[in-house]
Amino acid sequence: MNEIYRQLVVILHSMWQRRWYAIATAWAVTLIGWGLVATIPDRYASSARVYVDTDSMLRPLMRGLAVEVNVLQQLSFMQRTIMSRPNMEKVARMTDMDLSVKSDLGMDQLVRKLTDNINIASQGGNLFRVSYEDQDPQLARRVVQSILTIFVEGNLGASRTDLASAQRFIDDQLKTYESQMEDINKRRAEFRQANGTSFDGTQSFYERLQGEQGKLSDLQKSYREASYTRDQLAKQFEDVPRYLKLTTPVGPNASQPTPNGDASSLAGRITQIENNIADLRLKGYTDKHPDVVQMKRMLDSAKKELESQQQAASDDPDNVDGLHANTTVINPVYDQLQIKLIESDSQLATLKAQLDEQQKIVDGLQTTSGAVPAAEAQLLKLNRDYEAVKTKYDELLKRRESARLAQDLETKSDTLQFRVIDPPQVPLQPSSPNRPLYLTAALLLGIAAGVAVAFVFSQLHTTFSTAERLRDHFALPVLGTISAVVSPSERRQRKVKLAIFSAATASLFLAFGGLMAVELFLKPGTL
């Protein structure tokens, strides 16, 4: 430890002997450093703080009806893309910085300069700070204002452009699906035309065949029931007499039966049959319809019976006293049974025609059953393709309406509200360079350089300040040491030199203090 201390003392003594090199070097390096600091131009930074309000009252009301735009994701994307080259060129045009550009290379340099000096930083949540640094304070403020303008307009324009592109895409897809549905409908029409009525598109062939066979079975059952009812009526009709004999008064004062349409009289029955024929014709039935033909037969039969009755009454000899006579009249029960029998025959004929028609349908379906599987599979495929395309078409229709509502929400309401908390101002005090720090660094660098020069010279020009150091370097014995005798004049010279050195050192620190005072207190904008 003593040896280290002894060597340290020797080194410091040697450096003190070269103190003039040290102070001269410190002054030179410090002055050069201060000169370089003085040449650095002042730069002014303008900044603004913006709060993006993403809470809109319409958003919860339109949830589920319109496309929901991810506002935070959209804002993050805008923050990352604001520094793109097109935006930087737009800033250059808005601030007239492009007027000084004469070539593409100059524009590239200007874009790089803007990109390096513009800073957009998030300060937590939806709060952002936009800043720009330049030698011109007015230009710095204009650049920040331009960034804010692009930030607002670019965000709204991007979202509206995305919505418009989405609507165009959906419209194109809808046209494609419409074309596909028209093509499938055309193929289904051609299929039905080629296969007749075997397929109706609503049920399978075998389901239709079973249905038609069920209808045929029902008609057969109805026909059997109607045939049984007709046979029973025919048996009853055979057991009922056609005419009844009655004794009625005759003479000028006797009342005569008048065929006034009573259901029990023959004239009434004729009138009823004629009314029935008129009703059938009003319904559109022709004279060849089975019901009309049956009614006509009944009418002809009734008329013939009426003529027979009138003839029998005129030729009857049973008029004994001139006051009473035997009269033959039609049995009303017979007449009613005959009407029911005719109606039953008509119903039976109708059922027979329907039964024959249904039998033809069933026979036709059974004939084509061999080619059904392939054709039915083809029809099922066409129907399945149509339903799939129609489902997508309906879904796209809903999405287009949702996109339209979203676009109206975007254009007619403020989904994003930009609130400028701190607008950009013209800076009065430069933000860089940090001259006090640079001046201090230059001073420290000068002192370090002076110490280093003194140390280097002390090592290059070695002297022996003690006997121990001389003994360590040479193998010869040291006989003794002689102390230096300093005269009064030499002491005065040493004091003068020490005063000069102290003054030079103090003046260096005084100069540093004066420069710091100027930078901190006397520059414009610091008071």
Which helix H or strand E contains 265, and what residues bound it? none
470: enclosing H helix or E strand? helix 467-473
∠ Cα 260 264 266 (to 5°): 65
User: DSSP alpha helices (H): ranges in 126-136?
Assistant: none
Task: Give the C-alpha separation, 471 to 476, whole Å.
Answer: 7
State residue 160's pLDDT score. Answer: 54
Residue 387's CB: how many other CB atoms inside 10 A? 11
Who's near 205: CB < 8 A, 6+ residues apart? 198, 199, 365, 369, 372, 375, 376
Count the Cβ atoms, other than its own, within 10 Å of residue 76.
Answer: 12
Cα–Cα distance for residue pair 191/371, rounded to 1 Å: 13
| CA 273 to mean position of chain CA atoms | 74
- In angstroms, the CA 79 to CA 91 distance is 15
pLDDT value at position 470?
64
Q: Give the CA distances from residue 359 to residues 33, 205, 215, 252, 345, in Å, rounded to whole numbers and listed in that order.
A: 118, 17, 10, 65, 21
The region, left, alpha or beta by phi > 0 then psi within -120 to 50, assigned to residue 461 is beta
Q: What are phi and psi of 332, to 5 degrees?
A: -65, -30
Q: Look up tokens 């319109």; give the residue.
A: 66
What dihedral angle (degrees, nearest 10) is formed by the CA atoms of 146, 151, 156, 162? Answer: 120
Low-confidence ranges of the chain (pLDDT < 50): 56-59, 61-71, 157, 201, 250-264, 319-324, 412-415, 525-527
Return the domain boundaries, the chain.
2-40+433-522, 41-219+369-430, 220-368
CA 297, distance to chain mean position in Å, is: 77
Fold type of domain 41-219+369-430: Bacterial polysaccharide co-polymerase-like (3.30.1890)
In order, the DSSP letters of 277-329 are: HHHHHHTT--TTSHHHHHHHHHHHHHHHHHHHHHHHHHH----SSSSEEEEEE
pLDDT of residue 248: 53
pTM: 0.42
The set of residues, in sequence order, having a beta carbon less than 8 Å from that of 72 and lying 6+ positions away, is 54
- State both tokens at 243: 């005419």
Hey, what are 443's tokens? 């001073």
Residue 102 main-chain phi, psi, to 5 deg: -115, -10
Picking from 328, 278, 282, 329, the residue whose alpha carbon sits closest to that of residue 299 is: 278
Q: Give bridge partners of residue 43 from the DSSP assignment.
A: 432
pLDDT value at position 462? 65
Pairing of β 118-122 and β 44-53? unpaired
Q: What is the pLDDT of residue 249?
A: 54
